[in-house]
A and B are shown apart, each in its own frame.
Chain A
Amino acid sequence: MKRTFIVALVVLAVLLAVPLTMQAYGLRIGTTMLMYGVLAMSWNFIGGMAGYPSFASAAFFGLGAYAGAVAQKYGVPHYAAWALAGLVAALFAAALGFALLRLRGHYFAIASLVVAEALREIVNSATALTGGGMGLNLPLPQASSVEAQARFFYYAMLGVAALTFAASFLVRHSRLGFGLRCIQQNESAADMLGVNTTLYKVIAFVLSGAFVGVAGAIYASWVHYIEPPDVFDVLYSVKPIVMVLLGGAGTLFGPLLGAGVFLGLEELVWRNYLSVHTGVLGLLIVLLVVFLPKGMLALRKA
């Protein structure tokens, strides 16, 4: 536990210091990495700890992005809009969780996958509120230079990532985390031994939605323009899973590690082989599943 604290503090210190030496490009990469970290750590609550194959991340991300953007359109200041986006995503996750978490395995996976599709269609047709397929422009923040803006969003994303990490840490060392691990191993047995499985699963699902919602809202402010196919992209559901699998499911640092490694690979492929980058991502997933199904942290133990 003490070692975890030290490692976490060192990582945080490095992440805080990084922008001092970075140009705009480096800051963009850093912000994306932190965003991926939030997505991966969030998915870890429901997918890694409770073992439920959720594909709902894209739904939370898009919902958060649109909640934040629409709030800002009506004059809500950006910090409040981001918090509101988190709240909307959390409430949505709670309502959805009570319905969907009764399903298991493939059925849950599919039902959660189609949520993002349905939300995208709804946002697409609610033109008056969301701009529909034309997308939505967001106000530029007050910061002066390009560098200052990049730094602002870097620190905003770092704040969310730190909160998500703190939440993972607390959950992991609490009754809730223990209950979730029981559910992962044998849900019926956990239920019989007095774990309130429904409540625990819903809490895990809400946690997996709230921070992603905030990250989505910050993303929207960051890129100034969002449209349904962009923020409800199914890849926002899939990438966090790959990152967690890459790093090690259910662990504390695994998702962060996976996010960093994944982003590095993605950037490398993007930059050098633009036309085949999705194919390479696919190949990476296949190799990962076949050769490293337990993640990189498992290599250390082997």
Chain B
Amino acid sequence: MLTLQILANGLVLGGLYACIAAGFSLVWGVLNVINILHGSIIVLGGYLAFFGYTQLGIHPFFSLLVAAPLFFAFGYFLQSALINRMIAAPVLLTLSLTFGLDLMVQNGMLLAFTADFRKIILDPPLGVLALGPVVIPIDRLLAMALALGLTGLLYLVLSGSRIGRAIVAVRMDREASALMGVNVRRIYAVTFGLGALMAGVAGTLLAMIYPISPLAGTTYLGKAFVICVLGGLGSVPGAMVGGLALGVVESFGGLWLGPEHATTLSFLLLIAVLLVRPTGLLGRKGYE
């Protein structure tokens, strides 16, 4: 009984994790940049939903529609104005660059929103769904469905649209795709924009489930790392598998070892996978 409930909790959590990781993985895979800013963009998305709901009464599910273009524009601008200049630099420099940006955004959020923890409390609440012995809150279930739906949409964009094919082409071979007439810098900007979009949207959904605070991004960033490594880099199916796997592992780990060890457990898992199977569970073939 309990096992089923824990499994359900893990899957709900995992759907949101997949959404967090998909954008991060895409940026990492295509641009070869680790976007330390990713966690803070998630938190920004959370604030957007929070203030949208408390000040303007917009339901978080609808603030997605505002968050998506806004964060895409933010990412697109950031990449084309700044990160594109450094794109060929060694790992350490691009990592430091996004880290520096992250410190600035975190500081800005601390000043603007203070360090208080905030959470969206829906009024009236959506209630729970009881499937036999398993009980799932409906807001979480909807958030998970939306998160997985958006991740699936990203997959369709990458595999079906013209711009998506160009992104995949750049990921596979930058020089060759440039020779075929792909504007690589623009593709980088679009990719970073998509990454920011996924992060911001995940944040609006997460704000209903977890409290947000300016420095909460680091936790999500850590999870995105683990999921990317678990599922394999730069692949949307990999992020889905990795996200669901991490959600389930964390839920059961919390049950058996106590919730205070959840982070250690996921990091041990990360190191184990890195050592045994550095290409991730789905391997390196995941180019969509």
Contact of A245 among B96, B260, B263 (CB under 8 A): B96
Say yes or no: B97 contacts A53, CB within 8 Å.
Answer: no
Say yes or no: A290 contacts B260, CB within 8 Å.
Answer: no
Say yes or no: B267 contacts A282, CB within 8 Å.
Answer: no
Across-interface contacts of A103 in B (CB, < 8 A) = 274, 278
Across-interface contacts of A138 in B (CB, < 8 A) = none
How far is it, in angstroms, between the C-alpha of A51 and the C-alpha of B93 when the chains are bound? 12
Q: Which of A242, A282, A283 has the most CB of B within 10 A?
A: A282
Contact of A278 among B95, B107, B229 (CB under 8 A): B107
Say yes or no: A289 contacts B96, CB within 8 Å.
Answer: yes
How far is it, in angstroms, between the C-alpha of A292 and the C-alpha of B93 when the chains are bound? 11
How far is it, in angstroms, between the C-alpha of A189 and the C-alpha of B34 when the chains are bound? 27
How far is it, in angstroms, between the C-alpha of A117 and the C-alpha of B223 when the chains are bound? 12
Number of interface residues of A (CB under 8 A): 42
Say yes or no: A282 contacts B107, CB within 8 Å.
Answer: yes
How far is it, in angstroms, between the C-alpha of A159 and the C-alpha of B108 when the chains are bound? 39
Q: B111 near A: Cβ within 8 Å?
A: yes
- Interface 9-residue window, one of B44-52, B98-106, B148-156, B185-193: B98-106
Say yes or no: A109 contacts B91, CB within 8 Å.
Answer: yes
- Which chain B residues numbered 49 to 105 have a C-beta less than 8 Å away from chain A? 82, 85-86, 89-93, 95-97, 99-105
Say yes or no: A293 contacts B95, CB within 8 Å.
Answer: no
Say yes or no: A106 contacts B263, CB within 8 Å.
Answer: no
- Which chain A residues numbered 276 to 302 have a C-beta less than 8 Å away from chain B? 276-279, 281-286, 288-290, 293
Interface string of B221-243 (1 = CB under 8 A from A): 01001000100000000000000
Contact of B222 among A117, A122, A290 (CB under 8 A): A117
Contact of B103 among A53, A122, A275, A278 (CB under 8 A): A278
Say yes or no: A289 contacts B264, CB within 8 Å.
Answer: no
Q: A254 near B: Cβ within 8 Å?
A: no
Number of interface residues of B (CB under 8 A): 42
Say yes or no: A284 contacts B271, CB within 8 Å.
Answer: no
* Least CB distance, A219 to chain B, in whole angstroms: 22
**In chain B, what residue has the closest Cβ to A249?**
B92
Q: A8 near B: Cβ within 8 Å?
A: no
* Least CB distance, B141 to chain A, in whole angstroms: 30
Say yes or no: A283 contacts B229, CB within 8 Å.
Answer: no
Q: Which of A121, A284, A288 has the most CB of B within 10 A?
A: A121
Q: B284 near A: Cβ within 8 Å?
A: no
How far is it, in angstroms, between the C-alpha of A105 and the C-alpha of B28 when the chains are bound? 12
Interface string of A157-200 (1 = CB under 8 A from B): 00000000000000000000000000000000000000000000
Across-interface contacts of B274 in A (CB, < 8 A) = 103, 107, 111
Binding site for B on A (CB under 8 A): 47, 51, 53, 99-100, 102-103, 105-107, 109-111, 113-115, 117-118, 121-122, 124-125, 234, 238, 241-242, 245, 275-279, 281-286, 288-290, 293
Given contacts A118-B268, A282-B104, 10 further A-B contacts (CB under 8 A): A106-B32, A107-B229, A114-B270, A121-B263, A245-B96, A278-B107, A279-B107, A282-B99, A289-B86, A289-B97
Q: Closest 7 interchain pairs by CB?
A: A282-B103, A285-B100, A279-B107, A282-B104, A286-B100, A282-B100, A53-B92
